[in-house]
Structure 1
Amino acid sequence: MAFEPPQRLLRALGDRTEWLGHLPETVREAVDRRKLDVERLVAPGGRSSVVLLVRQADGTPAALKLAPPSAAPALEHAALTAWNGWGAVRLADGDDGLLMERLHPEVSLRSLPEAKALLEAAGTVRRLWIEPPAGHGFETVAARTARQAAAMTSPAGEPLVAAALAAREELVAAPGEVRLLHGNFRQGKVLAGDRAPWLAVGPEPVVGEPAYDLARLVRDRVEDLVASSSGASAVRRRLTRLADALEVDRDRLHGWTLFRAVESGTRALAEDRRAEAELTLEFASWL
């Protein structure tokens, strides 16, 4: 089977991993072992994995996801196993890549009007917040954000960085309830399905309080918010609506939204993604 990695993945990983060099062979072995028929590659795809739409030997449609060790596919496997299809894509086989039920990759919550998308997103993420399984190996929110905080340096956003770091210190000093979280939940990570209308994909699982998980959703469609003359007030209304709808403390959601936005913005600056950084840091300045 001829296979070429998608350009988006090549640009994201560059020459930082040997995994790309072995990817055609990895795909071939994963497909042959399961006796899959490959229909097509999902393009443009993600920045840390490839997804192939396939059919199993009995004709059942499925999706095969392959990711490098740096993307922690074993933790994604563990989270999907814990959810067992409740609010998330169902895992069929995870021994060699992740074989999952087929969703509709071209239809995410971003295809809906904003108000409807936020409503559906809230209903989906609530299902994911379960008790972490016994003996789990998931990172904690405190540990993940400590690593991120250590890398947050940016003269361009110095006051914001200081405010974000202070917010994080206050939040981790008095942690909230502990749940299994998606870790990167946003509208683009919720796809249309047949078994359920909407299902989450692509978790970067972590354990901690739900406010951390919800914070990334507050920032969704940031380009539309920044382009609007009422962007700042729209953000505050969105934050309040999500906090109320999901019974999350508004102040804690505000703090995690600030930290995650500034962390994302400073990381984008460090990686010379200036347009993305400017949007994200402007959003953070409204909080």
Structure 2
Amino acid sequence: MVFEPPQRLVRALGETAPEGDDWLERLPELAREAVARRELTVERVQVPGGRSSLVVLVRTAGGQPAVLKLAPRRARPESERAALVRWGGLGAVQLLEDPSPPAGNGGVLLLERLRPDVSVRTLPEAKALLEAAGTLRRLWVDPPGEHGFETVAERTGRQARAMRASAVADPEVAPLVDAALTAREELLADPPEHRLLHGTFRQSKVLAGERTPWLAVGPDPVVGEHAFDLARLVRDRVEDLIAQPSGATTTRRRVKRLAESLDVDRERLRGWTLFRAVESGVRARRVRRERDAELLLEFAAWL
């Protein structure tokens, strides 16, 4: 079996790879080793796949359909493993192997097989938001004691430093960056709760399953307040929002509806939505994904 990484993955990792990183070059051998160690039968590599990991559809030695996921260290796969163990299949895909990674695991996860081509994004928008929000609610649990998860303050601190540097180099984005950073400082002053969050939740991260209709995949877990997690969902289908003459009004209505449905403070949700949209937009601009940057920054301006 040739484990050829999809071009989407190659492009995405190429944007963020530190100098000298050779994970993509080593990936085919890492995949062969992981398959052999677990005695798996390979069906195919999932295409187009994700932006941070290789996903391979496999069967276990007992014939059970499964997914083998390989990710570089910078994608924090062991943090994902720890979160999946904490959730124990409630609202999220299940881990199918020992929670403790074996030596030399290399960022490999063996997961239950969901329906990779059926996400809530295939539903009409109102229904998709409802199902996604219900799934997200089940993931908001207390983190384990002495957890090693990154906090919202830590993650957004790293992002804030990069945003400031971008604003200096690109004065056009400076007003939005200033507004986003001000919102962050105010939000971190008095967070209402500290829960385990998915971290990168959106409609395409909720797939159809057998145990329950919808299950979340692909977390980049973080500990913080609910509004931070929900903020990414607000801008789902941003290209459709931008295309609407009433896009700004629809966005504000979406913030209100999601805040009320999940008992989250509306202004806190608006603030984190602003920060996360500006951060994503500035990052897209930095790596010359100009169309994505334009959409995200226009969306942020509505907030």
| TM-score range for the pair, normalised by the shorter chain length | over 0.9
Which of residues 130, 136, 149 is equivalent to 2:141?
Answer: 130
AA aligned to 1:157 is V
Which of residues 77, 82, 88 is equivalent to 1:84?
Answer: 88
Partner of 2:8: 8
Which of residues 54, 58, 61 is equivalent to 2:58?
Answer: 54
Secondary structure of 1:54's counterpart equals strand
Say what the alpha-carbon RMSD is for the aligned residues. 1.0
AA aligned to 2:127 is K
Q: Distance in 1 between matches of 2:11 and 2:276?
A: 24
Cα deviation, residue 2, structure 1: 2.1
Which of residues 42, 49, 68 is equivalent to 1:38?
Answer: 42
TM-score normalized by the length of structure 1: 0.98
Partner of 1:29: 33
Q: Distance in 2 between matches of 1:6 and 1:129?
A: 32
AA aligned to 1:119 is L
Q: Distance in 2 between matches of 1:277 and 1:143?
A: 24
Secondary structure of 2:96's counterpart equals strand
User: Where in structure 2 are there 5+ consecutive unaligned residues?
Assistant: none
User: Where in structure 1 are there 5+ consecutive unaligned residues?
Assistant: none
TM-score normalized by the length of structure 2: 0.93
Between the aligned residues of both structures, percent identity stands at: 68
Cα deviation, residue 13, structure 1: 2.2
CA shift digits 1:124-180 (9 cap, x unpaired): 000000000112100110111111111113322221111111100000111220100
Secondary structure of 2:68's counterpart equals strand
Q: Distance in 1 between matches of 2:3 and 2:263?
A: 47
Q: Distance in 1 between matches of 2:137 and 2:51?
A: 26
AA aligned to 1:240 is K
> Any runs of at least 4 consecutive aligned residues in structure 1 with deviations exceeding 3 A, and if so which?
none
Which of residues 217, 237, 243 is equivalent to 1:221?
Answer: 237
Secondary structure of 2:212's counterpart equals coil
CA shift digits 1:219-255 (9 cap, x unpaired): 1000000000110000011000000000000110010
- Are 1:147 and 2:163 an aligned pair? no
- Are 1:69 and 2:73 an aligned pair? yes
Q: Distance in 2 between matches of 1:281 and 1:11?
A: 22
Partner of 2:255: 239
Partner of 2:195: 179
Q: Distance in 1 between matches of 2:158 and 2:111?
A: 31
Q: Distance in 1 between matches of 2:276 and 2:27?
A: 32
- Are 1:100 and 2:104 an aligned pair? no
Q: Distance in 2 between matches of 1:189 and 1:90?
A: 14
Q: Distance in 1 between matches of 2:278 and 2:127?
A: 27
Which is worse superposed, 188-197 or 15-24? Answer: 15-24
Secondary structure of 1:164's counterpart equals helix
